[in-house]
Structure 1
Amino acid sequence: MSQQRFKDKKVVITGAAGVFGGWIAQAFAAEGARLYLSDIRAEALEQSVGGLHASEVKRHVTDLTDEASVNDLIHSVERDWGAPDIVVNNAGIYPYRRLMTTSLEEWSQTIDLNLAAPFLLIQRFAKLMIAQGVEGSFVSMSSGAAKAAGVGMGNYSVSKVGLEMLTKTFALELAEHRIRVNAVVPGYAPGSEVSVMTPEHTQRMIEITPLGRTSGPNDAPQAILYLSSEQASFITGATLTVDGGRTAGIL
């Protein structure tokens, strides 16, 4: 019998039309959650909603690099639901470009989406939770790129290092309200339409992952569900790594 840890819980997921976003939405739906799915790609978002079996699914086309659009998402959730119980900051971009050839516009786009958007979403949804007495949970998607530098991923790595410190700081500030803030480091998953990787890159990632495979639908999403659940009620400010041993060391 499937668990129903999140029956009628209100869950907001950004980047919901992506690979991880779809897996996360399916995992929450399977355990009874009500979903508010956000993505900038309207058609892809519509398609992702079509395959879900959830008690309630709402969607919002959001440009997370635009403050007005972020505010509209927050107001839409408040209008329809009040404060959410769980917010998953999954949206992100992985531009492969050397810092020496990165423009300020490209730098800002990465920081705005990967770091500024989670800041706004946690801050503003937390205010709703506090006002309505909701002991909520935030989980943000970090990356192994926060652990080690690499050529071509400088702005991405900086954004994820910042995201992990943002997670810890919000966890401290919101602890008195019993609002928990955590992060998950997923393993590599092929299939992204936003940051397309070559088959050669995918094979290389498999080779350097100790457990010898890419991330699947029951890996990072189940870690997110755990951190969002009552089972993790004493965990906040943590980053849980679910990457097949990729960041543990060198094979």
Structure 2
Amino acid sequence: MGLSGKLALVTGGGRGIGRAVCQILSRENAQVIVTDLNLDNCNQTLQSLSQLSHLAVQSDVSSSNSVKLCFEQILDKYKRAPDIIVNSAGITKDGFLLRMKEQDFDQVIDVNLKGTFLVTQTGAGLMKDQGIQGSIVNIASIVGKTGNIGQANYTASKAGVIGFTKTAAKELGKFGIRVNAVLPGFIQTAMTDAVPDKVKEKIVAEIPLGHLGQPEDIAYTCLFLASSRSKYITGASIEVAGGLGV
């Protein structure tokens, strides 16, 4: 699935799933733009990539101005739009519905859903203008399909990403731009490390394969969707959850 000559933008690339995506795409010879709110994390990811011409950009996906500046830096360095965009930036602000602060609801929606919209809108617009038949991969979540106690904001944002992906696929297909979603289950990252052990044990008991996933499990799915091997797939939501939610 070589990606030689391809340019890939990965949001949330500073750690976790995003970092794994950057590493896998780089291993397949793509040039990678690593973006994250934390530039130090971006640079740490950058140091783990192959010796191609990669780029680290500090970016807040929930801000249209920040997204615009990010793409300006990309165009300045590479003189073209990315062929591949992976929208992996995401946050959680968990809490029970009846106690959730409005600010926590808004912030999760702004990063997870609005951020996916802003990056896709800007990136797809450049792809269209430059005649690039690209691939956009949005990281949703299995809980966007199933719901999850204590995550009214997060589940709503990820369900929104699934719906947004389907609409974007319908609108952008005529330009040769494919848009798909990946629905991770519970993946071993810093985000899940913060979950109490008792809760994790309960979750694992519900997973048919009997264990948490690894960031690479998601990254390899993103690689498939970014490559020409998935050239007739768009608007799909691929569950990578060990059977959770089936």
2:9, 2:84 within 8 Å by CA — same for their partners in 1? yes
- Taking the TM superposition and a 5 Å limit, the aligned residue runs for 1:79-118 are 79-81=76-78, 82-118=80-116
1:111/1:147 CA distance change after superposition, 3 Å: same
Q: CA deviation at 1:202?
A: 3.0
Farther-moved stretch of structure 1 (31-40 vs 141-150): 141-150
SS of 2:25's equivalent in the other structure is: helix
Distance 1:210 1:123 in 2: 37
Structure 2 partner of 1:187: 185
Distance 1:53 1:165 in 2: 35
Structure 2 partner of 1:137: 135
Structure 2 partner of 1:57: 54
Distance 2:216 2:193 in 1: 21
Distance 1:150 1:79 in 2: 42
Structure 1 ranges of 4+ moved more than 4 A: none
Distance 2:233 2:188 in 1: 30
Identity %: 31
Is 2:221 aligned against 1:223? yes
1:14, 1:88 within 8 Å by CA — same for their partners in 2? yes
Q: CA deviation at 1:34?
A: 0.2
Please identify which structure carries the higher helix content: 2
Structure 2 partner of 1:169: 167
Farther-moved stretch of structure 1 (197-206 vs 175-184): 197-206
Distance 2:167 2:112 in 1: 16
Q: CA deviation at 1:151?
A: 2.1
Aligned residue-pair number: 245
Structure 1 partner of 2:11: 14
Using the size of structure 2 for normalisation, the TM-score is 0.94
Distance 1:204 1:49 in 2: 36
Using the size of structure 1 for normalisation, the TM-score is 0.93
SS of 1:218's equivalent in the other structure is: helix
Letter in 1 for 2:210: G
Gapped runs of 5+ residues in structure 1? none
Distance 1:107 1:43 in 2: 27
Matching residue within 196, 202, 215 for 1:198 = 196
Structure 1 partner of 2:21: 24
Q: Deviations over 1:185-244 (max 9, x none)?
A: 112123325983233333333222111111124311111111111111110000011111
SS of 2:104's equivalent in the other structure is: helix
Letter in 2 for 1:140: N
Structure 2 partner of 1:72: 69
Structure 2 partner of 1:39: 36
Is 2:121 aligned against 1:123? yes
1:93, 1:194 within 8 Å by CA — same for their partners in 2? no
Q: CA deviation at 1:54?
A: 4.2
RMSD (CA atoms): 1.6
Gapped runs of 5+ residues in structure 2? none
1:206, 1:213 within 8 Å by CA — same for their partners in 2? yes
1:195/1:162 CA distance change after superposition, 3 Å: farther
